[in-house]
Structure formats: structure tokens, C-alpha cells
Structure 1
Amino acid sequence: MRDLDDTDRTILGLLLDDARRSWRDIADVVDLSPPAVADRVERLEDLGVIRGFTLDVDRSKLREGAPVLVTLNVAPRAASAVADSLGDADAVEHVFTTAEERVVFTATVPDGDVLSLLDSTVAMEDVRDYEVSLLSDRSWNPSVAEAELALTCDECGNTVTPEGETRELDGETYHFCCESCEASFVEMYEELREGAEG
């Protein structure tokens, strides 16, 4: 398995700047052919590095409510469920979970009514308290700089290095840290598939 190289990072940076950029424009910058760029982007999608091409809406240009930053102190082990619920809410833009299991999110809420958003989105018994700050400005500047792949083995959970293995099974791509994990996973996968068919 090949790690990210400078060309991959440049392609990612160009797509972060403008996800609608054509393969030809990218090819001119990285000195590859457009089909080679398309192959690299497809590989990055298969690896899960690129999850999709999304629209970045500047909500400051829309009149829909007050932009806020909210920090939630939640019950132990509730952070993941709370973050998932918030991630599904239309008003919420970004959700973060801290190592201390706090949930921080940005949202645009009508009349600044954060309590109504929380009541309609999360189990309030999981929220111990919260703090709201009105945002005056926001920017989002993701970067890949010198990033390397950090895939997790689908069998044992270890980090997959460039020497790792990749296997496609029934249209899904799986990553493994070694041949042993790949063999073990495939064997169990085949057993489960045979059991489901039988």
C-alpha cells in the first residue's frame, strides 16, 4: 500500500480550495495527465481520505439566525451519542468532541434559541450544562500539509503502514496491517457470508 506523496497532498490542497476544479486544471499544476489525476482522486476516495465533495455555504450571507459556538458538558460516555445527534441537525455546521468528552459545535439558530435546538436534537438528561458564545466571524481552513495516511486495520485495530494490505470484498474496501490480519478477516468474512446464504 502506497502512502500519501507530495502529489497527493497537492491534489488534496487544490480540491480543498475548490472542489469543482477540473482534472485538467489540477493536472497542469501537478504535471500529470487528467486521467492520472482522476485515478489518484479515486484512490483517495477508496482509502476514505476524501469522503465527498461538498458545498461550503457562507451563512453570513444568509439571514437565518444567530451564529453561535456551544460547549456542552455531557454525562460520562454520552459524548459520542450527543455529537452524532447534533451532526444530523440542519442548524449545526461543525461538531467536535474533546478528549475530556465535551462536545463543541457551531450552529446558526433562529433568534439565538440554543435551548430549543438542544431540546429537539439531543437527550437533555445527557447534558449537564452548556455555554453559548455569539460568533462575530468564522473561517474554516483545513490543510493536509505533511499529512500521512493513518488507516486502521479492519481486523485488529492497529495502524496500517505503507506495507499494509488492501482488499475489496463485495464492493467494500478493507485495510489490514499485515497479511495475517487480512487472511483472518477474509476467512471470517467468507464464513459469515456462507452462513447468511445457507
Structure 2
Amino acid sequence: MRDLDETDLEILSMLTEDARRPFSEIGKKVGLTGPAVSDRVKRLQEAEIINRFTVDMNRGQLRAGIPVFVQFDNSKDVAEELRSRLSGASGIEHLFVTAEGKIWVYGRAEGQNVRNWIEGLLEDISADYSVTLVDDLEWAPSLEGTEFAITCAECGNTVDKEGESVRFDETVYHFCCGSCRGRFQERYQQLEQEA
């Protein structure tokens, strides 16, 4: 497996700013050709460093409700149920879980119905909450100081430059050493034969 380097970080940083930026434009800035950038992006996707490309919309231009930040003062015993209920719920855009197990969400609710919206999300879960209206939102992800840490598909250790990558049925798996790759491959082939 090849090492991930500063060029990969530069590519990621530029894609974070604008995921539709042409690979040829990125290539000019990092000293590569467009196809070479495309190959690197594909490897970053296979390594599950890039999971998806998305759109950052200016919600202020859309009628999507009032932006609110809600902090739930939930107990630990309802944290997982609350998280499950709020994850993917209509109007919820970001869900955070604090180290103490508290759930915080950023979402959009109809102006006159913020409390009704939250009460509807809670239903039978008992939790106090506070609502803060959000005036402005800025998302500025940074890769500064970031190091890549791909984990071994077999043992969970960090894969370094001594590691190996193997493709099985269109999925790329990363291993910290040949022994882990061998054990994983044996099990994979055995499961394939039994299927």
C-alpha cells in the first residue's frame, strides 16, 4: 500500500472547499495531471477517507424553516434511543453526542412550531432541552494537523507503509501485514466456498 502524503491532503483540502472543482485545476495546483488526481481520489475513496461528495446549500435562499440549535439534557439511559430517533428525522441536519452522552442537534423548524416540532421528536422520551435560534452558520473544515489512520481489516491496527491492500469482489481491504491479509483471505475464501 502506498503512503498517503501531503499531496493527498492538498487534494482533500481543495475538494472540501469545492467538491466539483475539476481534477485538471487541482492537478495544476499540486503538480499532477488531471488523470493522476483522479487516480488519487479513487484511492482515497477506496480507503474510505472520502465517503461521499455533497452539496453545501445556502439555506437562507430556500424556505426551509428557522435554523435552531437544540441541546437535550437527557440521561445516559435514553441517549441511544434519543440518538436513534433524531438521526435522520425530518428537519435534523447535524447530530452531536457529547462525551457525557448528551445529544445536541442542529436543524430547521417551522417558525411558529419549534416547540411542537421538538416535542414531536421526543414523543415518550423524557428529556429537558434548550433551543437557540441560529443567526448565521459557517462550516470551515480543516485538514491542518491531520494524519491518516487506515485500520487493518483483520486486527484493527493502524496500516502503515508496510501494509498491503487487496481487492475482493470490488471492495478494497487494507491490512497491516501479510499475516493479517493471509488470515482474512483464508476466511473470505472459506465463506465463499460455503455460500
Q: What TM-score, normalized to structure 2?
A: 0.86
CA deviations over 1:51-78 (Å, ceiling 9, x no partner): 1111111112222211111122444365
RMSD: 2.3
> Which structure 1 segments of 5+ residues have no match?
none
Question: In 2, distance between residues paired with 1:88 and 1:48?
Answer: 22
Other structure's SS at 2:76 match: coil
Aligned in 2, Cα 1:100/1:40: closer, same or farther, shift over 3 Å? same
- For 1:147, the equivalent position in structure 2 comes to 146
The alpha carbon displacement at 1:34 in A equals 0.7
Question: In 2, distance between residues paired with 1:183 and 1:77?
Answer: 42
> Which structure 2 segments of 5+ residues have no match?
none
- For 2:184, the equivalent position in structure 1 comes to 185
Question: In 1, distance between residues paired with 2:168 and 2:94?
Answer: 33
Question: In 2, distance between residues paired with 1:162 and 1:120?
Answer: 50
Q: What TM-score, normalized to structure 1?
A: 0.85
1:89 and 2:86 matched: no
Contact 1:65 / 1:112 at 8 angstroms: preserved in 2? no
Aligned in 2, Cα 1:112/1:142: closer, same or farther, shift over 3 Å? farther
CA deviations over 1:2-59 (Å, ceiling 9, x no partner): 3321111111111111111111111111111111011011111111111111111111
Q: Which moved more, 1:116-125 or 1:49-58?
A: 116-125
Contact 1:76 / 1:101 at 8 angstroms: preserved in 2? yes
Q: Which moved more, 1:22-31 or 1:179-188?
A: 179-188
Structure-to-structure mapping, 1:47-62, within 5 angstroms: 47-62=47-62
- The aligned amino acid for 1:105 is V
- For 1:70, the equivalent position in structure 2 comes to 70
The alpha carbon displacement at 1:142 in A equals 0.8
Q: Which moved more, 1:75-84 or 1:133-142?
A: 75-84
Question: In 2, distance between residues paired with 1:41 and 1:84?
Answer: 32
Instruction: Count the aligned residue pairs.
Output: 195
Question: In 2, distance between residues paired with 1:187 and 1:121?
Answer: 47
Aligned in 2, Cα 1:121/1:62: closer, same or farther, shift over 3 Å? same
- For 2:155, the equivalent position in structure 1 comes to 156
- The aligned amino acid for 1:158 is N
Aligned in 2, Cα 1:187/1:12: closer, same or farther, shift over 3 Å? same
1:25 and 2:56 matched: no
- The aligned amino acid for 2:66 is A
- The aligned amino acid for 2:41 is V
Aligned in 2, Cα 1:73/1:180: closer, same or farther, shift over 3 Å? farther
CA deviations over 1:145-181 (Å, ceiling 9, x no partner): 2312122222222222332222221111222222222
1:8 and 2:14 matched: no
Aligned in 2, Cα 1:123/1:64: closer, same or farther, shift over 3 Å? same
